[in-house]
């Protein structure tokens, strides 16, 4: 247990494996050797194309040139997700990476707007004050270098995750990560501690390590198959358990947002890349057969399919301990929340950063492991609650799935949040929640949860000043729009595509 960690072995070469290897090598590569084992025969899950803005941080730490990254991964810009048919059919709303308006004297913008709506007959909504929304709906984008934080356009990417993993592999190998190709067929544990000592490959080779990062995907080769860590099953809250993915030809105009389109027992993603569209249908097998799900997806592709359907099974939930003995599960082996808010690659990123902060240079101490596991649990639960919100707050009456989703029991943590918001729009960020107040606000309102009142702090302004504030903010948010090129023009200018 107290053995110094000198050799880190990453098991798996999907997005989780290569991102972990690259970041560990980049940040503490002078102190540890990193080896990655992957099996070409097993391959990767082959989906996962939408991200959220913190990916830009990790790309910066890795020193990636943004234009090169966009070219290498066929990436496009993502400003938001558009949720269609989620509250009711034929209606949609955006969850953007921006923020509506601006807080004033500790009071969030939406309280002022609510007061104006209630007292002054104001008809605008929160999205009218959000540059991300305005740019997304007009299909525009540019990198904005404004000194004024309210004139900002936070963004993430859609990319080909397979190409991203290859790109990270090139970078990792250049930095000195050793790649070993081969199938792990056996694992030796220390007889006393149960720590993993050796990986045995099919052809007889052996790989020794002090710390193992299990990025072996859903199978959880070390964390589950060897250490039997257990899984907290969340399918009573997030019952979708299947996905079908089909790439199709690219659309003529590249949208700067993901589309999430609800169907009768799940939802469909549509992700625009430079060279193709990513499409997938996430559904619940208790309510829909694979054939029906495939039919719905095939009938809703805007463009010609480019490959056969890829069928994927999953169970939502999390590994009971994401760090167990000398194994840390990262990526799909650590748990899975359906891809509704594009959080999986982000959870890989936070897992690796958390590992760096708790890195056991001088040996694996129980306190470090406990801290890592506590933080991981909080993070997964927060994301889980945010995703459940999309399902629970629906008003669809056209299928049993949506009726059951509306009435299912939900975690107390989420119920508490909804109750606070319903009353007078109060939102609180706890424990570094990945989703800030503007995210909760947009999804609550988009799903039809309206506060019945506003916070009295919003009364601290005359009606005239309130009206002036709204007009000014709207103008400030709209002004940059004229200068923005289309998303396609941006891609062409910035990375030659």
Between 297 and 410, whose beta carbon lies closer to ligand FAD? 297
Q: How far apart, in whole angstroms, are the C-alpha atoms of residue 462 and residue 465?
A: 5
174 is catalytic: no
- The verdict on 220 binding ligand FAD (CB under 6 A) reads no
Q: How far apart, in whole angstroms, are the C-alpha atoms of residue 483 and residue 497?
A: 20
Residues 6 or more apart whose CB falls under 8 angstroms from that of 416 comprise: none
- The verdict on 350 binding ligand FAD (CB under 6 A) reads no
Among 23, 32, 34, 47, which residue sits at the site for ligand FAD (rule: CB under 6 A)?
47
Between 14 and 98, whose beta carbon lies closer to ligand FAD? 14
- The verdict on 246 binding ligand FAD (CB under 6 A) reads no
Do you know the residue count of the chain? Answer: 497
- The verdict on 101 binding ligand FAD (CB under 6 A) reads no
Q: Is the dihedral of CA 442, 443, 448, 454 positive or negative?
A: negative
Of 108-116, 215-223, 459-467, 479-487, which segment contacts ligand FAD by CB under 6 A? 215-223
Residue 248 DSSP one-character state: B
Of 11-19, 93-101, 146-154, 458-466, which segment contacts ligand FAD by CB under 6 A? 11-19
| Alpha carbon 259 to its chain's center | 14
- The verdict on 342 binding ligand FAD (CB under 6 A) reads yes
- The verdict on 268 binding ligand FAD (CB under 6 A) reads no
- The verdict on 309 binding ligand FAD (CB under 6 A) reads no
Between 144 and 312, whose beta carbon lies closer to ligand FAD? 312
Of 48-56, 130-138, 171-179, 399-407, which segment contacts ligand FAD by CB under 6 A? 48-56
Q: Alpha helix locations (H) across 358-411?
A: 366-392, 400-407
- The verdict on 16 binding ligand FAD (CB under 6 A) reads yes
Task: Tokens for 266, please give them.
Answer: 């799940």
Between 254 and 342, whose beta carbon lies closer to ligand FAD? 342
Q: How far apart, in whole angstroms, are the C-alpha atoms of residue 327 and residue 222?
A: 7
- The verdict on 408 binding ligand FAD (CB under 6 A) reads no
Of 340-348, 364-372, 395-403, 486-494, which segment contacts ligand FAD by CB under 6 A? 340-348
Q: How far apart, in whole angstroms, are the C-alpha atoms of residue 300 and residue 260?
A: 12
Between 297 and 388, whose beta carbon lies closer to ligand FAD? 297
- Report yes or no: 143 and 154 within 8 Å, Cβ to Cβ: no
Q: Alpha helix locations (H) across 258-365?
A: 290-299, 344-357
- The verdict on 23 binding ligand FAD (CB under 6 A) reads no
Task: Tokens for 257, please give them.
Answer: 């947002």
- The verdict on 215 binding ligand FAD (CB under 6 A) reads yes
- Report yes or no: 134 and 257 within 8 Å, Cβ to Cβ: no
- The verdict on 386 binding ligand FAD (CB under 6 A) reads no
Among 58, 177, 332, 491, which residue sits at the site for ligand FAD (rule: CB under 6 A)?
332
Q: At what angle do helices 437-446 and 366-392 cross, to 10 degrees?
A: 30
Which of 78, 82, 226, 325 is flagged as catalytic? 78
Of 128-136, 211-219, 369-377, 383-391, which segment contacts ligand FAD by CB under 6 A? 211-219
Longest dimension (CA), the chain: 79
Residues 6 or more apart whose CB falls under 8 angstroms from that of 412 comprise: none
Q: How many CB atoms lie within 10 A of CB 361?
A: 10
Nearest one of 421, 407, 480 to 147, comparing CA atoms: 480
- Helix, strand counts (H, E) of the chain: 14, 21
Between 76 and 449, whose beta carbon lies closer to ligand FAD? 76
Taking the complex as a whole, the smallest distance from the CB of residue 352 to ligand FAD amounts, in Å, to 12
Is residue 472 packed enough to be buried (19+ CB in 10 Å), middle (13-18) or exposed (0-12)?
exposed
The contact mask relative to ligand FAD for 170-199 (x = CB under 6 A, - = no) is -------------xx---------------
Among 27, 144, 198, 312, which residue sits at the site for ligand FAD (rule: CB under 6 A)?
312
Nearest one of 186, 223, 179 to 203, comparing CA atoms: 186
Helix (H) or strand (E) holding 492: helix 487-495
15 is in an annotated binding site: yes
331 is in an annotated binding site: no
- The verdict on 36 binding ligand FAD (CB under 6 A) reads no
Instruction: Point out the annotated binding site for FAD.
Output: 13-16, 332, 345
Binding site for ligand FAD (CB under 6 A): 12-17, 37-39, 42-45, 47-51, 161, 183-184, 215-217, 219, 221, 243, 280, 312, 314, 331-333, 339, 342, 344-345
Q: Annotated active-site positions, please?
A: 78
Return binding residues for 7-chloro-L-tryptophan. 78
């Amino acid at each position: 247990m107290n053995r110094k960690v000198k050799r880190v072995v990453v098991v798996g070469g999907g997005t989780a494996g290569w991102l972990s290897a690259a970041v560990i090598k980049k940040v503490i590569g002078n102190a540890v050797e990193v080896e990655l084992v992957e099996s070409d025969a097993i391959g990767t899950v082959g989906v996962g194309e939408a991200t959220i803005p913190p990916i830009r941080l990790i790309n910066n730490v890795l020193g990636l040139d943004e234009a090169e990254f966009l070219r290498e991964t066929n990436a496009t810009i993502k400003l938001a997700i558009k949720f269609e048919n989620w509250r009711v059919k034929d209606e949609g709303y955006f969850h953007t990476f921006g923020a509506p308006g601006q807080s004033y004297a500790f009071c969030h913008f939406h309280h002022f707007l609510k007061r104006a709506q209630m007292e002054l007959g104001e008809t605008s909504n929160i999205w009218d004050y959000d540059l991300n929304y305005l740019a997304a709906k007009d299909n525009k984008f540019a990198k904005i270098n404004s000194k004024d934080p309210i004139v900002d356009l936070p963004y993430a990417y859609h990319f080909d995750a397979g190409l991203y993993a290859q790109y990270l592999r090139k970078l990792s190998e250049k930095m000195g990560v050793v790649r070993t190709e081969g199938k792990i067929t056996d694992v030796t544990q220390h007889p006393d501690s149960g720590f993993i000592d050796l990986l045995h490959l099919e052809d007889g080779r052996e790989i020794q390590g002090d710390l193992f990062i299990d990025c072996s995907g859903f199978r959880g080769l070390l964390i589950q198959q060897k250490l039997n860590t257990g899984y907290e099953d969340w399918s009573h809250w997030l019952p979708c358990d299947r996905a079908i993915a089909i790439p199709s030809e690219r659309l003529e105009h590249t949208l700067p947002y993901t589309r999430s389109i609800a169907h009768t027992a799940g939802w469909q993603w549509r992700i625009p890349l430079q060279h193709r569209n990513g499409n997938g249908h996430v559904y619940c097998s208790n309510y829909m057969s694979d054939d029906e799900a495939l039919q719905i997806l095939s009938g809703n592709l805007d463009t010609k399919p480019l490959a056969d359907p890829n069928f994927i099974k999953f169970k939502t939930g999390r590994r009971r301990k994401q760090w167990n003995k000398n194994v840390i599960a990262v990526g799909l082996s650590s748990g899975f929340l359906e891809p509704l808010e594009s959080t999986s690659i982000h959870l890989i990123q936070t897992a690796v950063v958390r590992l760096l902060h708790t890195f056991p240079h001088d040996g694996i101490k129980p306190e470090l492991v406990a801290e890592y596991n506590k933080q991981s649990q909080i993070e997964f639960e927060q994301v889980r609650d945010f995703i459940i919100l999309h399902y629970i707050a629906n008003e669809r009456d056209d299928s049993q799935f949506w009726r059951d989703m509306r009435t299912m029991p939900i975690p107390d943590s989420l119920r508490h949040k909804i109750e606070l918001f319903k009353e007078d729009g109060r939102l609180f960020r706890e424990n570094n929640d990945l989703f800030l107040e503007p995210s909760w606000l947009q999804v609550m309102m988009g799903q039809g949860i309206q506060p019945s009142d506003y916070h009295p702090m919003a009364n601290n302004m005359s009606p005239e000043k309130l009206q002036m504030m709204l007009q000014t903010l709207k103008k400030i948010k709209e002004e940059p729009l004229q200068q923005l090129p289309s998303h396609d023009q941006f891609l062409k200018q910035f990375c030659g595509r």
